[in-house]
Chains A and B, each alone.
Chain A
Amino acid sequence: MKKKLSASLLHIVVIIGFVISVFPVYWMFIAGTQSNQQILGVSPDLWIGHSLQANFHALMTNGSVDIFRAILNSIVIAGGTTIVAVTFSSMAGYGFARYQFRGRNTIFAVVLGALMIPAQVTLIPLFILMTHLHLIDTWWAIILPAVPSVFGVFLMRQAFLSFPEELIDAARIDGLSELSIYFRIVVPLSRSTLSALSIIVFLASWTNLLWPLVVLNNSSSYTIPVALSILESVQTLPNYGMVMLAASIATLPMLILFALLRRNFISGIMSGYSR
């Protein structure tokens, strides 16, 4: 009897947490199909409304933000950042892990020290730098500063330290160059850590608001977070349904990515913690 009671209590507590976690997301999608009257009515409607088309039309003709262009920008920027940052930082991690060379420990200490410095310290100098390089309002303004991933070097160095030496030696005897040993043997066998790092870098780029807000002023260059924040702020009379529809559309790529790469997501988040 006591066991049964505590089992149902367990389920009730979990279901309450589950509903609180899921409800705001459900509401975001539902509100995207509703009109302001439905959203703000005396008895709120929690089911699909009839204003999807009207909201979509309002979103397409709002004149300040092109949500699909923002999704494209975000995909290119987060994707580009991930490819370059993961390539560079994993190569550096391999260099630190597998070779003896002069100044190795000093350089590594400097790199690690940068892990302590929060990103907003570089905000103003990077803005000045980007202005001088004429990169304001370009993809590069977002991608370039995100390339040196100190955490990535650290994570990959840890992974490469335990890479089996025999495999590398065997490849050397076969006459492979050091670079092709790395790209043809080490990289394919380190896929799980590399994909975890990719997820971390991609998520950081995808959700960043502060830096894109600083360097993107032209609506055609907005990323998703910037576009959503602008969409809300330019309205004099807020159209809740339209904003929620935009938020829903902007959420879809991440949900699709998660559905495809569920395992990598979880391990990516975990490795971000076990450093």
Chain B
Amino acid sequence: MSAPAPAESLQHTGSRVRRAQLMVTPYMFLTPFIVMFGVFLVYPIIYSFIISLSHWQAGHLVFRGLFQYRLLLNDGEFWESLLNVGIILVVQVPIMLTLAAIYASLLNSPRLKGRALFQLGFFLPVLIDMVAYSLVFSFLLAPDGLLNHFIGLFGIPPINWLNSPQWSKIAIMIAMTWHWTGYNIIILLGAMQSIPVSIYEAASLDGAGAVKQWASITLPLVAPILLFESVLSTIGTLQLFTEPYILTAGGPEHSSMTPVLYLYQVAFQQFHFGYASAIAFAVAVLIALLSIVQLRVSRERANI
């Protein structure tokens, strides 16, 4: 934390003007950011909390205490939206990270020919805008879309991916997994490539095979990265908006409603600013708690 003190290192130049200049300089560097930070981040956060304690009437705030939060506790649609992202979180994130770990390891294998081309292919989904890829999947998953054609080849009857409460979350998970697995592969691959080759050489001299090397060297060394990816994926999933907005609009029967999509509808289609701000704060607290828990757990495991 201790940064070098230029004032000390400059004593030999001995200029008083220079030292006075150095007193002002740090603020010169900080001011542009701090001003923007205050106006567009700190002030909105505080204001948002005040709105969540109020009722918004024709541009005026009427103080209502915790009224909105009490309303939220009894709002079935809000709880349903939390449950939905909870299910997506518990199912999609482990699948995605397992796939990413497997494919990163395979793409890192020296026995794989054409590695550069394959890596490029796995990275391609990351470059497709979230709305664009959601549109692609809304067509691929349509009742007479390509995925139903494909499963039809195996004799499976067509599935109503986007318009049935049983399948809508799965449809969103399929799309998300397609888009974000490559992202996680790139990070893991980077971590794997930075493991010194000498460690593997020593292990193979000791007679450890490829699988054993993977389990005892690669996996433990990239475990912190995997845990961090799980934290970021958790935060991302709790804030899920674009995919359900495009693919299902939260339906049918709220089966793919997410907290942020709900917030958007309450705030900008029904214009209940007070209530929407309460939703925003509830989600923010949840995200903060979950990421703290996850980081704690990962730190404890790292200490063992």
Contact = CB atoms under 8 A, between A and B. Distances in A.
Contact of A114 (B30, B41, B235): B41
A155 to B, nearest CB: 13
Interface stretch (B75-83, B121-129, B162-170, B196-204): B121-129
Contact of A25 (B13, B40, B42, B128): B128
A148 B37 contact: yes
Contacts of A101: 23, 26-27
B136 A27 contact: yes
Interface residues on B, range: 35 or more
A235 B7 CA distance: 65
A21 B122 contact: yes
Contact of A173 (B13, B125, B242, B281): B13
Contacts of B128: 24-25, 28, 251, 254
Nearest to B38: A148
Contacts, number: 263
Nearest to A182: B29
Interface in B1-59: 1, 3-7, 9-10, 13, 21-23, 25-30, 32-34, 36-37, 40-45, 47-48, 51
A18 B107 CA distance: 11
A255 interface: yes
Interface in A75-131: 87-89, 91-92, 94-101, 104-105, 107, 110-111, 114, 116-129
A11 B112 contact: yes
B220 interface: no
A125 B264 contact: no
A117 B27 CA distance: 25
Contacts of A99: 3, 6, 22, 25-26, 29
B178 A21 contact: yes
Nearest to B5: A100
B241 interface: yes
Contact of A44 (B136, B149, B283): B149
A173 B229 CA distance: 45
Interface stretch (B65-73, B139-147, B296-304): B139-147
B214 interface: no
Given A144-B36, A273-B232, 5 more contacts: A10-B112, A100-B26, A147-B40, A254-B129, A258-B127
Interface of B: 1, 3-7, 9-10, 13, 21-23, 25-30, 32-34, 36-37, 40-45, 47-48, 51, 99, 103, 106-107, 109, 111-113, 118, 121-122, 124-133, 135-140, 142, 144-146, 149, 178, 181-183, 186-187, 190, 225, 228-229, 232, 235, 238-239, 241-242, 245-246, 260, 263-264, 267-268, 273, 276-277, 280-281, 283-284, 287-288, 291
